[in-house]
Amino acid sequence: TMSIQEKQQRVRELLKERNAVLLAHYYQRDEVQAIADFAGDSLGLSIEATRTDAPVIVFAGVHFMAESVYILSPEKTVILPAIQAGCPMADMITKEKLLALRDEYPGYTVVCYVNSSAEVKAYSDICCTSGNMLKVIESIENDKILMIPDKNLAKFAARHFPEKDIKWYSGYCPTHDRVNAADVEEVKALYPDAEVIAHPECAPEVLALADHICSTSGMSPYARQSSAREFIIATEMGVLYQLRKDNPDKKFYIASRRLLCPNMKMTTLDSIIRSLETMENIITVPEEIRLKARAAVEKMIAIPR
Ligand code: 13P
Ligand code: SF4
């Protein structure tokens, strides 16, 4: 059996042979993030995918993210090493449910969180990520907004824009939604000087305790510029890798041990090696859906971050 270092070396060799790059989300396993060509949040990763010259992209993340890469860069071969790695929140809404919502809320602009299938994006007006949601909402002239699928992200938006009529669907991230205020209070009692940084997928009671709310790529820059020395992190624990690497002089504590997304951990060095050896699993989207979904994603990308 190979050691972690040997496996990492093997991945790097295979990437070179296949003329491929490895993109990894911040929730990926440490040993995967460590050898990625680029690590980032969901928005950063899809933009990076359009910038690379490499014809093959191995995507260490979940299915909707690989789809997003294909939506923007169909000329590239997009490989998802763990084909079962989906997103339970994305699976909570279907095209059929969305069309029923559109009938229920005529005249509303549908803002679709990127944690959704290509098909759902195709029937939405504009996409957003946790990194640009407030700017996306700000850019919309219509005050009637329907946000799908994440109710927590939508409630955060509604608190930020009380003058707008924001409605939402009932979806949520099972990982972020598991954390409650008591969990955060418990860790705060241990580290009273720590600041709380939370992801907007968390429930309102958790966001109410946060000093800063941002996407996974916003956390490290915030910690760097803050005068605080310690931070309590309310998002998937994979982010600790990047936070600690970028801020070796600061301390980071996870708000709850349950902040682990099993889907994000399905990608392993072994599955990456296998995918590069076999060139499986290739992710595509039917062209008709891709073009419609791309319109919603490009509208989002056109808005400065
Ligand atoms: P971001 O990378 O946009 O912060 O998304 C968080 C998430 O839950 C991705 O699955
Ligand atoms: Fe989906 Fe939540 Fe996992 Fe992100 S952390 S992939 S939103 S289940």
Domains of the chain: 4-85+264-285 (3.40.50.10800), 90-172+289-301 (3.40.50.10800), 175-254 (3.40.50.10800)
**Of 233 and 304, which is predicted with more confidence?**
233
pLDDT digit string (tens) for 263-278? 999 999 999 999 999 9
Minimal CA–CA distance to 294: which of 161, 114, 24? 114
pLDDT of residue 271: 98
The per-residue pLDDT for range 115-143, each reduced to its tens digit, is: 999 999 999 999 999 999 999 999 999 99
Percent of the chain with pLDDT over 70: 100
Ligand 1 pocket: which residues have CB below 6 Å?
41-43, 87, 115, 129-131, 173, 201, 215-216
Q: Which listed ligand is nearest to 305 at the C-alpha?
A: 1
Ligand at shortest distance from the CA of 89: 2
**Average pLDDT score over the chain:** 97
pLDDT digits (tens, 9 = 90+) for 151-181: 999 999 999 999 999 999 999 999 999 999 9
Instruction: Find the 100 Cα to ligand 1 centroid distance in Å.
Output: 26
**Alpha carbon nearest to ligand 2 atom 3, residue:** 261
What are the C-alpha distances in Å from 267 to residues 23, 28, 30, 54, 61?
12, 7, 11, 21, 7
Rg of the Cα atoms in the chain: 19
Q: Is the pLDDT score of 305 beyond 70?
A: no
Q: Give mean pLDDT, residues 90-101.
A: 98
Average pLDDT of the residues in 199-220? 97
pLDDT computed for residue 97 by the predictor: 98
Contact assessment for residue 169 and residue 147, using Cβ atoms and an 8 Å cutoff: yes
Alpha carbon of 149 to ligand 1 centroid (Å)? 13
pLDDT number for residue 127: 97
Q: Which residues fall within 8 angstroms of residue 37, CB to CB, at 6 or more apart?
A: 15, 21, 22, 23, 52
Q: Which of the listed residues 38, 59, 115 should we mutate to test ligand 1's pocket, taking the one with most ligand atoms within 8 A of CB?
A: 115
The 10 Å CB-count burial string (b at 16+, else e) for 35-62 is: bbbbbbbbbbbbbbbeebebebbbbbbb
The closest residue, in CA terms, to atom 9 on ligand 1 is: 42
How close is the Cα of 150 to the center of ligand 2, in Å?
A: 11
For residue 92, the tally of other CB atoms under 10 A from its CB is 20
Ligand 1 midpoint to CA 41 (Å): 6
d(CA 213, CA 231): 13
| Residue having the nearest C-alpha atom to atom 10 of ligand 1 | 115
User: What is the distance in A from the centroid of ligand 1 to the CA of 116?
Assistant: 12
The gap from C-alpha 200 to its chain's centroid, in whole angstroms, comes to 11
Which atom in ligand 2 lies closest to the alpha carbon of residue 261? 3
Confidence of residue 46 (pLDDT cuts 50, 70, 90): confident
12 C-alpha to ligand 1 centroid (Å): 25
127: phi then psi, degrees, rounded to nearest 5:
-95, 165
- Measuring CA to CA, which residue among 48, 26, 38 is closest to residue 235? 26
Other Cβ atoms closer than 10 A to 242: 18
Mean pLDDT of 280-287: 98
For 152, residues 6+ apart whose C-beta sits below 8 A from its C-beta are 172, 173, 176, 177, 200, 201, 202, 203, 204, 207
Distance from Cα 282 to the centre of ligand 2, integer Å: 21
| Cα distances (angstroms) measured from residue 18 to each of 74, 79, 230, 273, 278 | 18, 12, 42, 12, 11
Q: Is it true that the peptide bond before 281 is cis, omega within 30 degrees of 0?
A: yes
